[in-house]
Amino acid sequence: MNHRTHALAGLAVATASAFILTACGDPEPEMDAGGASANAATEVANQESPGAQRIDFALPDLAGEERQLSEWDGDLIVLNFWATWCPPCKKEMPLFQDTYDANREDGFTIVAVAVDEQTATQHFVDDFGIGFPVLIGQDDAVAIGRKYGNRIGALPYTVLIARDGTILDTHRGEVEPADLDGWLEAHL
């Protein structure tokens, strides 16, 4: 390979690495320059999505059966886009499972959309003891996330959907206990 080919390959690797680091991590802290926020993607999503009706979609579950988001109409839904290789995604799953167990009888569910392959997702679900619905989408999941305001493909990305299908909130990055508690207190 010539020098130009090596340079292009290096640039491609650097670009891909930057995207992966940006797409899977905690939201950046607030910037203080001019009141701008480094968490602008969340702000844009919050301006576009809340108040809008949820978008119905179909993706396969772990058994390969197509499932529609509308199956959970009437419940308060936490729609979470995640991946098995994403550290913040792994960290929030026990919180999601505990919250699901404590509130599922009250009309609450979590629908987790894995941006991953079936085998890795199944192992993750088994290892973590996940009992809430898990759908698998890879590229389709990324496209659905974009329709919900996740323009940059950040993971994890969470959408709170009211019982009537209204989008109440979006959240880029790891969901903390205070976030989830606040949502449940206000909407359950």
* Residue corresponding to tokens 């990324």: 142
pLDDT at 183 over 70: yes
Q: What is the mean pLDDT of the chain?
A: 81
Q: Give residue limits of the domains in the chain.
A: 40-187
- Give the span between the Cα atoms of 187 and 175, in whole angstroms: 16
CATH class of 40-187: alpha beta
Condensed to tens digits (0 to 9), the pLDDT of residues 124-172 reads 999 999 999 999 998 999 999 999 999 999 999 999 999 999 999 999 9
Say if residues 37 and 152 touch (Cβ distance below 8 Å): no
SS3 state at 26: coil
Residue-wise pLDDT for 53-86, tens only, equals 999 999 999 999 999 999 999 999 999 999 999 9
Closest CA to 44 of 182, 183, 170: 170
Backbone angles phi, psi at 54, to 5 degrees: -65, 150
Total-model pTM = 0.76
E-only strand ranges, the chain? 58-60, 66-68, 76-82, 108-114, 134-136, 157-161, 167-172
